[in-house]
Amino acid sequence: MRLIPKGCFWLSLILLLGACQSPATGGGAAPARPALSNDKVAHAASPAGDEATARPPVAKKIPSTRHYHGKTLQDDYLWLRDDSYPEVDDPAILAYLEAENRWFEQQMAPLQPAVDILFEEMKGRIEEDQEAVPWDDGAYTYRWRYVEGSQYRLWERRPRAGGDFTTILDESVEARGHEYFRLTTFAVSPDGRRLAWSADLNGSERSRLYVDDLDTARRYDDGLDAINGDIVWGADNTTLYYTPVEADGWYTARVKTHLVGAAPATDSEIFYTPDRTLFLTISRSQSRQYLFITQGNHQTSEQYILPLDEPGAVPQLVAPRRDGHYYDMDHGHGQFYIRTNDQHVNFRIATAPEQTPGPSHWHTLLPPSDDVYYQKFALLDNFIAVEEMSEGLKRIRIRENGGREYHVEFPEAVYAAALGDNPQLASDYLRIDYQSMVTPRSVYDYRPADGTLTLRKRQRIPSGYDRDAFVTERLWATARDGARVPVSLVYRRGTPRDGSAPLFLYGYGAYGSGEDPGFSAVRLSLLDRGVIFAIAHVRGGDEMGYQWYLDGKLEKRSNTFNDFVDVAQFLVAQKYAHAGRIAIHGGSAGGELVGAAVLQAPQLWAVAILNVPFVDVLNTMLDDSLPLTPPEWQEWGNPIVDAEAFDVIRSYSPYDNIAARDYPPMLVTGGLNDPRVTYWEPAKWTAKMRALKTDDNDLLLKINMGAGHGGRSGRYRQLYEYAEAYAFALHCLGVNVTESSPAAP
């Protein structure tokens, strides 16, 4: 099982107060709101210490000029990339980041009452003793749960034959003494006697491996402290397959076997690839008979298979890699199942004999379709379940072994259904995760034998929740090139639909990762204050099929940004919003989207929140020493060797297109240990933006000095970061959290 995808006091009187307002727009103005700061200044970085300062830190400029394809690239803030990365120990860099963090804390101080109120609201919606629906795996039934007040989960199991649950791993105990803790793998041996687990202890996505003997309570810590989290047990209950992180960066190039209790120096290497343009991962088949070794990116893949009862066997290649061909596999019912786009962009599902799994033996089980995109599948005893997308909505298809085929019926017209935790082949039911923008996260068990759909659990909101008090809609915006872009909205019933309500617009649009119209308890703090929340399902995701993804990458990347802006303008025209009173939010590649939108149409936004934003696209794609750059070239292009790719990326890369003009208030976050979007991207964006912007709006940067891409760990610490972001956004939208009570649940 691989575990992977956020005191009341006021600012000192010596602080100069400025304006936190949007650029002027036609057709009316946003409501007046209290100011936080005067950000239009230039001076040296803030001094160390706790004294309040009147001006934000300003990064020094060190001109750097480089030449590519006969063109000059100048960057005054290239120095913020520490040459010793992933170690960050340059005193000047650390001083600048710490000064920005002090400025963030100081400028957020007036909003501390609002942060506290929002945090308590969000915390009140959490089930303090939340627990997962138990699942069967082998001879045991497993579950995880939270103890009231705990930041982390407690993992338990009991024999399926009967008995009480007993603890097998307590994350809270393991997290003691660590600023950051994230469980990355939880894998029980085939005989149920040993638990292999790994944890990331600083956000760098390098995990340490432990093995616990569940019978004797003995722990094996063999010194494997830099793995990427992929762990598969061999059939002998002693061999572990894993992928170590290479010493010179965050990437994997090898698959190794490790014997529990042995020294890592004795581990055997069973696979190696020198190709850094591909990600390398391992997984186990549903039948538990095969190890899958996968090399690939988001568009091309190849897989190797190895019997788990033959640790000395040589991995067998199934289908050699060719550009644009993506396939993934599973095994069960005595044959292989393959999801492949060899015949159609939206994939097909095929089968192949166990002894001859190659492409010439692939026989179509579910044919491709222009209207249906097959995303993933699960194998169970008497049927295959397929998670698919059609017209922007996710649904579940059942194909019984006898050939009968149909979709699971759900009670709402707009929803998100996904394959849940189905760890073993021997099951007569399918676990499904279900939610909508008004229905809290739910777990269903579906039994094809009698067609019953049983609700096992629905997220409970302890402070109260009435789904009938909210309205959700699916709209279609027309982009500037004529594409129909789906938009999901949710708002409290009675919220004005005359353009006077503030709007919160979210987007991502990259890597073929679509945004489901799902539920968020955190979001209720916005809806209860009259905010309309919208998701723009822009190109670059896969909501409208795999082609929707292809139409938002490489030379078509600007479609993603244009879609987002066009959705906002559509919502203004439909009177769901007013120009200049829209908050926008995105993280990672979604932060790139928000950055591009800020540059393209700054007059539309009241505030922009950029979490770990991938805004320095060109410089990152030019830096092949970064471990994640080579495999990302298939997504963005390789500007090192391709002059056209250089020009395309340069044309939209947010950092490279900052100009002297007014911009909306911004909150930018990053993580010092982030291996995906390195800390210097949000730092450089902030430094350059502050130097060039001509407005007085707030620009705040928060760098988590002990965390990575996902922000701080622990459920309450993540909530607090949401509370900070929402307090800032609501302030800039003109909503005074401390003077207005949220609507009653």
- The pLDDT tens digits of the residues spanning 67-102 come to 999 999 999 999 999 999 988 999 999 999 999 999
pLDDT at 205: 80
The residues spanned by each domain of the chain are 73-124+464-616+653-732, 135-367, 371-459
Which contiguous run of DSSP H or E holds residue 596?
helix 589-600
- Average pLDDT on 236-243 reads 96
Only one residue has tokens 């190895």, namely 306
C-alpha distances in angstroms, 663 versus 41, 597, 600?
15, 11, 10
Position 204 confidence tier, pLDDT thresholds 50, 70, 90? confident
The pLDDT assigned to 510 comes to 97
Question: Is a pLDDT exceeding 80 seen at residue 208?
Answer: yes
Residue 33 has pLDDT above 70, yes or no: no
Q: Distance (Å, rounded) from C-alpha 333 to C-alpha 335? A: 6
229 Ramachandran zone, left/alpha/beta (phi>0; psi -120 to 50): left
Beta strand 373-380 with 363-366 is unpaired
Buried-exposed string 329-340: b where 16+ CB fall within 10 A, e elsewhere: bbbbbebbbbbb
Q: What are phi and psi of 126, to 5 degrees?
A: -90, 135
**Interstrand relation of 452-458 and 442-447 (parallel, antiparallel or unpaired):** antiparallel
The pLDDT of residue 311 is 77
pLDDT for 607-629, tens place per residue? 999 999 999 999 999 999 988 89
pLDDT-derived band at 248 (thresholds 50, 70, 90) equals confident
Residue 43 has pLDDT above 50, yes or no: no
Give me the pLDDT at residue 3, please.
41
| Number of other residues whose CB lies within 10 A of the CB of residue 562 | 21
- 159/675: higher pLDDT: 159
Q: pLDDT, tens digit, for every residue of 660-700?
A: 999 999 999 999 987 889 999 999 999 999 999 999 999 99
**101, 705 contact by CB (below 8 A):** yes
Rounded to 10°, the helix 680-692/91-108 angle is 70
pLDDT band at 26 (very low <50, low <70, confident <90, very high): very low
Closest CA to 190 of 308, 271, 109: 308
CA separation for the pair 271, 255 (Å, rounded): 5
Q: What's the pLDDT tens digit per position in 546-574?
A: 999 999 999 999 999 999 999 999 999 99
Instruction: Give pLDDT, residue 627.
Output: 81
Rounded CA separation 576/582 (Å): 10
Q: What is the pLDDT of residue 28?
A: 33
Strands 290-296 and 301-307: antiparallel
Q: What is the pLDDT of residue 707?
A: 67
Residue 642 corresponds to which tokens in the numbers above?
Answer: 């391709």
> According to the model, what pLDDT value does residue 517 have?
94
Q: Which of 3-17, 102-116, 623-637, 690-704 has the lowest mean pLDDT?
A: 3-17
Q: What is the pLDDT of residues 316-328, one digit of tens each?
A: 999 999 999 999 9
- Quick one: how far is CA 281 from the chain centroid? 18
Q: What percent of the chain is modeled with pLDDT above 70?
A: 91
Q: pLDDT at position 42, please?
A: 32
Quick one: average pLDDT of 426-445? 96
Architecture of domain 73-124+464-616+653-732: 3-Layer(aba) Sandwich (3.40)
If you classify domain 135-367 with CATH, what class do you get?
mainly beta
- As given in the structure block, the two tokens for residue 23 are 């650029």
Q: What is the pLDDT of residues 269-286, one digit of tens each?
A: 999 999 988 999 999 999
pLDDT of 129 reads 87
Q: Pull the structure tokens for residue 287.
A: 């039948």
**∠ CA 625-631-635 to the nearest 5 degrees?**
120
Whether omega for the bond prior to residue 440 falls within 30 degrees of 0, making it cis, is no
Burial class (CB in 10 A: 0-12, 13-18, 19+), 328: middle
pTM listed for this prediction: 0.88
Rounded to whole angstroms, how far apart are CA atoms 75 and 688? 9
Q: What is the pLDDT of residue 459?
A: 95
HEC sequence for 597-660: HHHHCHHHEEEEEEECCCCCHHHHHHCCCCCCHHHHHHHHCCCCCCHHHHHHHHHHCHHHHCCC
Task: Kindly write down the DSSP assignment for every residue of 714-732, as one continuous string.
Answer: SHHHHHHHHHHHHHHHHHH
Confidence band of 312 (pLDDT split at 50, 70, 90): confident
Flag whether pLDDT at 48 surpasses 70: no
Specify the pLDDT at position 13: 23
Average pLDDT taken over every residue of the chain: 90
Of all residues in the chain, the percent with pLDDT exceeding 90 is 81
Nearest in space to 229 (alpha carbons), one of 196, 257, 262, 258: 196
The per-residue pLDDT for 51 is 56
- Across the range 383-412, mean pLDDT stands at 93
Token reading at 58? 């300003």
Determine the pLDDT at residue 86.
86
**558-573 and 643-652 helices, crossing angle to 10°:** 30
Among 440-444, 604-608, 741-745, where is mean pLDDT lowest? 741-745
Tell me the sheet residues that pair with 363: 351
Q: What angle do CA 364, 366, 371 make, to 5 degrees?
A: 130
Task: Write out the catalytic residue numbers.
Answer: 588, 674, 709
Question: What is the reported pLDDT for 326?
Answer: 96
| Per-residue CA distances from 476 to 371, 484, 492, 543, 624 (Å) | 17, 6, 20, 13, 40
Looking at residues 96-114, what average pLDDT do you find? Answer: 97
For residue 251, the model assigns a pLDDT of 83
* Per-residue confidence band for 392, with pLDDT thresholds at 50, 70 and 90: confident
Say how far apart CA 73 and CA 617 lie, in whole Å: 13
- pLDDT at residue 19 in the model: 29
Per-residue pLDDT, 717: 84
Indicate if the pLDDT at residue 24 is higher than 60.
no
Q: What is the mean pLDDT of residues 641-658?
A: 98
Query: Quick check: helix, strand or coil at residue 188?
Result: strand
Q: Which of 33-37, 434-438, 655-659 has the lowest mean pLDDT?
A: 33-37
What's the pLDDT at 712? 64
pLDDT of 14 higher than 60: no
Q: Tell me the residue ranges of DSSP E strands in 277-401.
A: 279-284, 290-296, 301-307, 316-317, 327-332, 335-340, 348-353, 363-366, 373-380, 383-390, 393-400
Dump pLDDT digits (tens) for 345-370: 999 999 999 999 999 999 999 999 99
73-124+464-616+653-732 and 135-367, same CATH topology:
no
Question: Is 658 buried (19+), middle (13-18) or exposed (0-12) by CB count in 10 A?
Answer: buried
Contacting residues for 275 by C-beta, under 8 A, at least 6 apart: 295
Contact 550, 556 (CB under 8 A): yes
pLDDT computed for residue 467 by the predictor: 95
Output phi, psi for 236, to 5 deg: -85, 0
Largest Cα separation within the chain, whole Å, is 77
Lowest mean pLDDT among 240-254, 478-492, 708-722: 708-722
Rounded Cα distance, 19 and 13, in Å: 16
| pLDDT of 15 | 23
Distance between CA atoms of residues 666 and 698, nearest Å = 6
Q: Please answer whether residues 735 and 525 qualify as being in contact, where contact means their C-beta atoms are separated by less than 8 angstroms.
A: no
> What pLDDT shows up at residue 348?
98
